[in-house]
């Protein structure tokens, strides 16, 4: 599942490839993934316009310049972008093409979770994304303290809640809690926010360099899926259980309740 750093990678691609160019055509190869509009309406709205890609949590928002509209993209499990010759034949899993001169930005999505939407203004945008808290990479320590202040319940559930903070998914939250030595079920009120913020920041910064939560040595993410999954810090056997609806990995020794 793409999380904040993956989607930031898609945003950077879109920015790099389409900057300064105008949309000349829109090709919808999968009408069902266009969740709330018609190919004609999208084509009319985007033709001749420049797009400014932004990210909010796990959502990519292609803002239409000189308009209030936004093309909203979610990458589901298997979404990605390609930048192809506009004349080349689309891949069988390409769902949307935006042509810019002789090139085409293609949204590919094999398993078809996610999709794309047209929002005419920010009110429509919120109906599509649901209420979102501020982006996890945009907040400072004081913001985090304020956001968590009224929150009750487990640490994992709190950080996963997109209405509270947008962009943290299963891998990021487990990584942050593991590094901060916080049990995923610990009451969020008993978590040191200063330490939590510092850890979140460093996990996000390193992940953004990789444009994913990197499954590398020294990271929980690099260890959690091995058969005999062990803590990279103390070599204890990792625990795995469903918490906040997701398979959660943690170290019973480093992250005591
Ligand atoms: Zn450990």
3 is catalytic: yes
Tens of pLDDT, residue by residue, the chain (257 residues):
799 999 999 999 999 999 999 999 999 999 999 999 999 999 999 999 999 999 999 999 999 999 999 999 999 999 999 999 999 999 999 999 999 999 999 999 999 999 999 999 999 999 999 999 999 999 999 999 999 999 999 999 999 999 999 999 999 999 999 999 999 999 999 999 999 999 999 999 999 999 999 999 999 999 999 999 999 999 999 999 999 999 999 999 999 98
For the stretch 161-195, pLDDT in tens is: 999 999 999 999 999 999 999 999 999 999 999 99
Using DSSP's 3-state secondary structure scheme, residue 4 falls into helix
Distance CA 49, CA 26 (A): 11
Q: Report CA(170)–ligand 1 centroid distance (Å).
A: 19
Q: Report CA(245)–ligand 1 centroid distance (Å).
A: 23
Distance CA 180, CA 138 (A): 20
246 is catalytic: yes
Distance CA 61, CA 45 (A): 15
Q: Which of 54, 246, 252, 253 is catalytic?
A: 246
Q: What is the pTM of this model?
A: 0.95
């Amino acid at each position: 599942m793409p999380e904040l750093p993956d989607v930031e990678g898609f945003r950077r691609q879109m920015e790099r490839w389409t900057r300064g160019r105008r949309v000349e055509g829109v090709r919808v190869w999968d009408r069902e993934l266009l969740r709330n509009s018609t190919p004609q309406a999208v084509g009319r709205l985007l033709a001749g316009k420049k797009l400014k890609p932004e990210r909010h949590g796990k959502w990519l928002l292609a803002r239409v310049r000189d308009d209030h509209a936004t093309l909203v993209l979610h990458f589901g499990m298997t979404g990605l972008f390609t930048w192809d010759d506009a004349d080349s034949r689309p891949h069988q899993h390409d769902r949307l093409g935006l042509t810019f001169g002789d090139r085409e930005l293609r949204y590919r999505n094999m398993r078809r979770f996610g999709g794309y939407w047209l929002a005419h203004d920010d009110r429509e945008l919120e109906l599509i994304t649901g209420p979102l808290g501020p982006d996890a990479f945009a907040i400072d320590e004081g913001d985090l303290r304020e956001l968590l202040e009224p929150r009750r319940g487990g640490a994992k559930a709190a950080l996963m809640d997109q209405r509270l903070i947008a962009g943290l998914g299963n891998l990021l939250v487990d990584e942050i809690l593991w590094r901060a030595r916080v049990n995923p079920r610990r009451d969020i009120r008993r978590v040191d926010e200063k330490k939590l913020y510092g850890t979140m920041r460093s996990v996000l910064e390193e992940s953004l360099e990789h444009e994913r939560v990197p499954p590398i040595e020294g990271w929980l993410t690099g260890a959690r899926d091995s058969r005999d999954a062990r803590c990279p810090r103390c070599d204890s056997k990792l625990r795995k259980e469903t918490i906040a609806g997701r398979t959660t990995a943690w170290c019973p020794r480093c992250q005591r309740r």
